[in-house]
């Protein structure tokens, strides 16, 4: 078993030891409700307010401008829905981008569906090829009815930095509210809201070594930004967010933000060097595409690998915890909407990986990850006939729990992949495609006296499609055309234990067999 290399810090980070130490008393001893007017309650409230000040300090805000939430998703909802509902939804206009986090896009679409009949509309900007939305793009999209602009500071998929600092000044001049999702920026970039006139800004604890389940929304006091509450109850958090606060979570977020303030410069320097090292190592592969070439935060690298299928690539990397732009769980799949907005093809979007680095990432891990990636890509390209020469067979753990017969065939696939040498006599080749899953399978059969005497295959697709190709190439040897045609999808599924969501791979195998026609001159 190869040691796991964690490169998914943009998804979540481990709890920092200092943060755990700070939280522990509030999980056991200081357990009172911070809204209670007695000694224990006041002690809990004091801890919550101290944490609020720590969060504010990292971003150049004042403590009273920090509103606790359950996380960035709630903060984004409160900012966007709250701002629109407070200002009025009739004929309101919002500007955002196509590459925002889903919680922003879904919130905007919800507002369109609910208030569209009352004239509310949303403009979704497309980033440039470098992966950034410019301030000028936003300004050009404004109308007299524009109430709010919502734009992330750092792309959670690409790591690219949008021009929010320049934009904030321009929108302030025009009296338009600016909401910024700063989840991937906090603790990575310098944020100073004392000088950058952002009105609303969303934060999350677990992206910078704090606990899950807590976030915050910065709501500017001067000039005052106003939002309508989305949770109603006891009027907590200045009436903007009702609900009993969890002191241990607030303390954890405060400690994480205080720690980030002391480490920001050193972390950025070290982690950006590791990101550049990974990119340099990966460039040993041809046909590599870096997604997002603009100014970038230090911790994210997004790469597409031409000539491989995304699910198969992930399956070949059991020791790497990375985020993927692919999901071949059925005959249809949804490539990364961020990469498609960037102009990447579905094939490249599906064969993309986001690497996000953190405090614990080492040079040795970066080098090991690069080696594993290069080996996996070359092996998969070899299976599809898209690489020169052969690549060593993988020793990959079945971390995605494919059925054992399928996984065994997948790992052995290189044994008979490829085509026969040019000029080889009596070769019959058939190739079938499944356009919905963007996969294909080709069988290359050498026949004599009406039977298959040797067989090979090439394939592009998920591990199941590759396993089907390998099994068929082995099974076909010695068979007549009639015997090849007789194999059914049901039998193929039974032998390889192909699950329902991979039925299209079995159908592709049967289609290939049904397409085989041995010339009459060879069936004498």
Q: Please give the average per-residue pLDDT across 444-471, as a whole number.
A: 95
476 lies in which domain range? Answer: 404-522
Query: Tokens at residue 511, please?
Result: 């289609």
Instruction: Report angle CA 472, 476, 479 to the nearest 5 degrees.
Output: 155
Residues 433 and 303 in one domain: no
Residues 206 and 299 in one domain: no
Number of domains in the chain: 3
Residues 299 and 423 in one domain: no
Residue 396 lies inside a defined structural domain of this protein: no
Residue 89 lies inside a defined structural domain of this protein: yes
Out of 325, 350, 383, a domain closes at 383
- Higher pLDDT: 267 or 239? It is 267
212 contacts 80 by C-beta, under 8 angstroms: no
Question: What share of the chain in percent tops pLDDT 90?
Answer: 85
Residues 98 and 163 in one domain: yes
Residues 177 and 227 in one domain: yes
Residue 394 lies inside a defined structural domain of this protein: no
Residue 393 lies inside a defined structural domain of this protein: no
- pLDDT at residue 330 greater than cutoff 90: no
Residues 252 and 281 in one domain: no
Q: What is the pLDDT of residue 296?
A: 93
Query: Tokens at residue 133, please?
Result: 């939305």
Q: What is the pLDDT of residue 415?
A: 86
- pLDDT at residue 501 greater than cutoff 60: yes
Q: What is d(CA 122, CA 102) in angstroms, rounded to the nearest whole number?
A: 15
Query: Tokens at residue 343, please?
Result: 């102009």
CATH of the domain at 286: 3.90.1150.10
Q: Tell me phi and psi for residue 200, to 5 degrees.
A: -135, 135
Per-residue confidence at 346, pLDDT binned at 50, 70, 90? Answer: confident
Q: What is d(CA 69, CA 184) in angstroms, rounded to the nearest whole number?
A: 17
Strand blocks (E) in 336-475: 352-356, 427-434, 439-448, 451-460
Residues 173 and 235 in one domain: yes
- Higher pLDDT: 475 or 294? It is 475
184 contacts 297 by C-beta, under 8 angstroms: yes
Residue 390 lies inside a defined structural domain of this protein: no
Query: Tokens at residue 202, please?
Result: 């969303």
Residues 363 and 508 in one domain: no
Concatenating the DSSP letter of every residue in 300-319 gives EEEEEETTS-HHHHHHT-TT
Catalytic: which of 108, 328, 462, 505? 328
462 included as an active-site residue: no
- pLDDT at residue 464 greater than cutoff 70: yes
- pLDDT at residue 89 greater than cutoff 80: yes
Q: What is d(CA 250, CA 262) in angstroms, rounded to the nearest whole number?
A: 19
Residue 378 lies inside a defined structural domain of this protein: yes
Out of 214, 242, 261, a domain closes at 261
- pLDDT at residue 312 greater than cutoff 50: yes
Residue 227 lies inside a defined structural domain of this protein: yes
Residues 254 and 275 in one domain: no
Q: What is the pLDDT of residue 39?
A: 95
Residues 275 and 238 in one domain: no
Residues 107 and 249 in one domain: yes
Q: What is d(CA 188, CA 251) in angstroms, rounded to the nearest whole number?
A: 20
Out of 348, 383, 418, a domain closes at 383
Q: In what order do the strands lie in the sheet with 288-290?
A: 288-290, 300-305, 352-356, 323-324
- pLDDT at residue 522 greater than cutoff 90: no
Per-residue confidence at 435, pLDDT binned at 50, 70, 90? Answer: confident
Over the stretch 179-233, which tens digit does the pLDDT of each residue have?
999 999 999 999 999 999 999 999 999 999 999 999 999 999 999 999 999 999 9
Residue 395 lies inside a defined structural domain of this protein: no
| Summary mean pLDDT of the chain | 93
- pLDDT at residue 141 greater than cutoff 60: yes
Q: What is the pLDDT of residue 377?
A: 95
Helix and strand element counts for the chain (H, E): 17, 16
Per-residue confidence at 524, pLDDT binned at 50, 70, 90? Answer: very low
CATH of the domain at 140: 3.40.640.10
Over the stretch 361-395, which tens digit does the pLDDT of each residue have?
999 999 999 999 999 999 999 999 986 555 566 66
Q: What is the pLDDT of residue 452?
A: 94
Residues 439 and 474 in one domain: yes
CATH of the domain at 410: 3.90.1010.10
User: What end-to-end distance do the CA atoms of the chain give, in Å?
Assistant: 53
Over the stretch 149-188, which tens digit does the pLDDT of each residue have?
999 999 999 999 999 999 999 999 999 999 999 999 999 9
């Amino acid at each position: 078993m190869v040691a796991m290399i964690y490169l998914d810090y943009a998804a979540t980070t481990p709890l920092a030891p200092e943060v755990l130490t700070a939280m522990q008393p509030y999980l056991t001893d200081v357990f009172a409700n911070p809204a209670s007017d007695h000694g224990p309650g006041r002690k809990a409230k004091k801890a919550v307010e101290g944490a609020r000040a720590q969060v504010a300090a990292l971003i150049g805000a004042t403590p009273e401008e920090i509103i606790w939430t359950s996380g960035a998703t709630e903060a984004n909802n409160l900012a966007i829905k709250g701002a629109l509902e407070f200002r009025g939804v009739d004929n309101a206009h919002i500007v955002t981008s196509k590459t925002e986090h889903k919680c922003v896009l879904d919130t905007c679409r919800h507002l369109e569906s609910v208030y569209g009949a009352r004239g509310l509309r949303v403009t979704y900007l497309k980033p440039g090829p470098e992966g950034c939305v410019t301030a000028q793009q936003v300004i050009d999209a404004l109308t007299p009815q524009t109430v709010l602009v919502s734009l992330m500071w750092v792309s959670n998929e690409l790591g690219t930095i949008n021009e929010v600092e320049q934009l904030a000044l321009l929108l302030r001049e025009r009296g338009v509210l600016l909401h910024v999702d700063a989840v991937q920026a906090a603790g990575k970039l310098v944020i100073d809201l004392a000088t950058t006139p952002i009105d609303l800004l969303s934060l999350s604890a677990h992206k910078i070594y704090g606990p899950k389940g807590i976030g915050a929304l910065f709501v500017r006091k001067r000039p005052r930004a106003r939002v309508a509450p989305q949770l109603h109850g006891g009027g907590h958090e200045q009436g903007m967010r009702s609900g009993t606060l969890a002191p241990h979570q607030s303390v954890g977020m405060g400690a994480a933000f205080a720690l980030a303030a002391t480490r920001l410069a050193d972390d950025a320097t070290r982690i950006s060097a590791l990101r550049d090292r990974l990119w340099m190592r990966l460039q040993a592969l041809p046909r590599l595409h870096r997604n997002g070439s603009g100014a970038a935060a230090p911790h994210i690298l997004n790469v597409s690998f031409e000539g491989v299928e995304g699910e198969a690539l992930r399956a070949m990397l059991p020791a790497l915890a990375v985020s993927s732009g692919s999901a071949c769980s059925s005959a249809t799949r949804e490539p990364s909407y961020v990469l498609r907005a960037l102009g990447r093809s579905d094939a490249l979007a599906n064969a993309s990986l986001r690497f996000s680095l953190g405090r614990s990432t080492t040079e040795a891990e970066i080098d090991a990850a690069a080696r594993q990636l290069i080996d996996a890509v070359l092996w998969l390209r070899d299976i599809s006939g898209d690489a020169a020469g052969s690549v060593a067979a993988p020793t990959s753990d079945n971390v995605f729990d494919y059925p054992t017969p399928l996984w065994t065939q997948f790992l052995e696939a290189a044994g008979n992949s490829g085509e026969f040498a040019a000029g080889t006599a009596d070769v019959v080749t058939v190739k079938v495609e499944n356009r919905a899953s963007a996969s294909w399978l080709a069988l290359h059969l050498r026949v004599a006296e009406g039977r298959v005497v040797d067989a090979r295959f090439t394939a592009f697709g998920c591990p199941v499609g590759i396993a089907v190709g390998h099994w068929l190439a082995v099974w076909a040897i010695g068979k007549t055309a009639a015997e090849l045609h007789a194999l059914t999808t049901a039998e193929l599924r039974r032998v390889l234990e192909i699950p329902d969501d991979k039925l299209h791979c079995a159908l592709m195998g049967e289609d290939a067999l049904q397409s085989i026609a041995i010339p009459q001159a060879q069936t004498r």
